[in-house]
Chain A
């Protein structure tokens, strides 16, 4: 058992035993290789089922929306920033939360790892920074660092920004030459190339809305695509309607997205939906010097007005 798992179990059990929280939200072991399942513990015994590994990619903040109980929650850097968002947007109060922070060194890109093999993965075992992956036909030891998710590669906030406990000492933050290389590559495309890029990006979309539903920001009681009176968007597989959904969803995340990558993790069709939100992360940073979810003391730029706000775009 890794030390993170041990510490998470210990902290969660104590919280429940001492009655400091009603429940703890964490990850439990999955039923197939490379899977973990978000789960709750209401008793110290149940907290013994929590695990931590490189597949704890989803963002548990998603389960906090409008909860009334006192909750313990496990949070990586990006998740902790989403919790800040939730508090700022009044979806939960700080007093209700006991945050067990996890200094994170990244989660892995499951599809990239699956791509190494012809057949299905039957075993997946972390050994320090290396991972042993087995299929019926072959066995590989890979370096975790080479298979990080896109958002983990460019992450600048691996340590939780808000927490009540930490499961380990803070990790060293990454120093990146240019965190927005990927966005700039798309910005450099001409109009046709961009069009083709995004058309190709969305061509496999089945509109299951897993990206939206895995996103902690997408907590609207009724999403605009689900409005039926009036109905804003067609429901079928018309590419215009598919695009409308993705474009609008992305814009709803402007200045709020912490690039946690839950959307891409959840997508059954491996669509890189972060290509949309990354641009907004970059714009928020460049225009307003804003990174979402870093502080409880400042309103996000898109829900405030200041006379000195940049306005070059309307000149």
Chain B
């Protein structure tokens, strides 16, 4: 294990140097809102931010992405034949991604990169990306990542873990990709490994201890889907939901999308857009029938998918990483922590 020490006075210079090889993405403030997006030439990642409203999932999975395109002009060759547009798969780096968001990328990967199907767009972007994580020294009150198989210093899915020590970062080099990024940025001051790891371990324990919200998920696995599905609490839990898409759009693991064709003049394009299971249109069939026509059914779907179906299908924990964004942003304060508690402690009446 190699640990690199990065003096904060060298940070800007290194970031600029890394731009020669990488397109950079990171947390920035846009109209007072903290978002994770591609950095302009003059922009630097805001490493001091607690969190971004929008998760970094758009680095690999843009909200709107052109996936195919065709000409409708019969005088040109290959007209009416859909082709992949040119996509940019040059190296990119997600700087300051939080450990729970990096874990989320690994969960999303289970969907986009399977033994049967490989989603070219997502997978190419994934392979091009170096994940430069930033440990969370002070977890927010809505952070419950330690209950969800991640944590403020978790390393899963990261190439580098940066730990902020006021005047410098300690960078834990986790993969060759991470090492290449640090080389490219000119960050090469090797720190004393043992001493650094000890410092990091101490900070890790303090940060984990600062997360006081514990959300038990231990009993979910042994419950039957039908018991939970027909539990009596869903109507009450769903009452206040206004069925907007906020929770699904801010969520780092919500991966559902919708395909749309748009034609203008002689050219046509196929897009994929983020979709939301909160929308009635999400499951509306061509026949007009809608299997999830009622609000309660849609709310139940979101939580069952996150906390039960995913667990049963992949056996990799729940599809929630405990970032707390939906808790923070839900306009009616629907709190996945209490819903998870309700589901976990539910005992059906026999």
Contact = CB atoms under 8 A, between A and B. Distances in A.
A268 B32 contact: no
Given A119-B50, A236-B260, A268-B329, A37 B240 contact: yes
Contact of B242 (A31, A62, A200, A222): A62
B33 A270 contact: yes
Interface string B322-335: 00000111011111
A209 B249 CA distance: 11
A38 B330 CA distance: 12
A120 B324 CA distance: 13
B239 interface: yes
Nearest to B259: A235
A266 B271 contact: no
A32 interface: yes
Contact of A268 (B64, B240, B246, B262): B246
Interface in A203-251: 203-204, 206-210, 212-214, 222, 226, 228, 234-238
B273 interface: yes
Interface of B: 30-33, 35, 50, 53-54, 63-64, 138, 140-142, 236, 239-240, 242-246, 248-250, 258, 260, 262, 271, 273, 276, 279-281, 284, 327-329, 331-335, 337-338
A79 interface: no
Contacts of A62: 242
Given A210-B246, A266-B331, 12 more contacts: A40-B239, A58-B331, A62-B242, A119-B138, A208-B245, A210-B245, A213-B242, A226-B281, A228-B284, A265-B331, A266-B242, A269-B53
A204 B31 contact: yes
A30 interface: yes
Nearest to A33: B141
Contacts of B30: 203-204
A32 B31 contact: no
Contacts of A209: 244-245, 279
A111 B239 CA distance: 26
Contact of A203 (B31, B50, B246, B333): B31
Contact of A206 (B63, B140, B271): B63
A38 B246 CA distance: 17
Which bucket holds chain A's interface residue count?
A: 35 or more
Contacts of B250: 268
28 contacts: A32-B328, A35-B333, A36-B333, A38-B239, A38-B240, A38-B332, A40-B236, A111-B32, A120-B140, A204-B33, A206-B245, A206-B249, A208-B246, A208-B249, A210-B245, A210-B331, A212-B244, A214-B244, A214-B331, A222-B280, A235-B271, A235-B273, A236-B273, A237-B64, A237-B273, A266-B246, A268-B53, A268-B249
Interface string A274-302: 00000000000000000000000000000
A136 interface: yes
A39 interface: yes
B32 A214 contact: no
Contact of A31 (B63, B138, B338): B338
B206 to A, nearest CB: 14
A266 B276 CA distance: 17
A46 to B, nearest CB: 10
A236 B332 CA distance: 25
A227 to B, nearest CB: 9
A119 B141 CA distance: 11
List 3 A-B pairs, minimum CB-CB distance, nearest first. Answer: A236-B64, A266-B331, A210-B244
A39 B33 CA distance: 29
A235 B258 contact: yes
A196 interface: no
A121 to B, nearest CB: 9
A31 B337 contact: yes
Contact of B276 (A122, A203, A208, A269): A208
A137 to B, nearest CB: 10
Given A30-B333, A204-B33, A235-B260, A39 B240 contact: yes
A227 B205 CA distance: 52
A173 B337 CA distance: 41
A115 interface: yes
B320 to A, nearest CB: 16
Interface string A181-204: 000000000000000000010011
B48 to A, nearest CB: 8
Contacts of B333: 30-32, 35-37
A207 B32 CA distance: 18
A59 B52 CA distance: 28
Nearest to B328: A32
Interface in A6-43: 30-32, 35-40
Contacts of A40: 236, 239
A265 B333 CA distance: 12
A208 B63 CA distance: 11
A145 to B, nearest CB: 22
A269 B33 contact: yes
B243 A32 contact: no
A307 B333 CA distance: 48
A37 B141 contact: no
A40 B241 CA distance: 12
Contacts of B138: 119, 136
B285 to A, nearest CB: 11
Nearest to B338: A31
Nearest to A119: B50
Contacts of B242: 62, 210, 213-214, 266
Given A115-B32, A268-B250, A269-B33, A234 B244 contact: no
Contacts of A270: 31-33
Contacts of B334: 37
Contacts of B338: 31
A57 to B, nearest CB: 9
A237 B332 CA distance: 25
A111 B64 CA distance: 28
A203 B279 CA distance: 22
Contacts of A235: 258, 260, 271, 273
B245 to A, nearest CB: 4
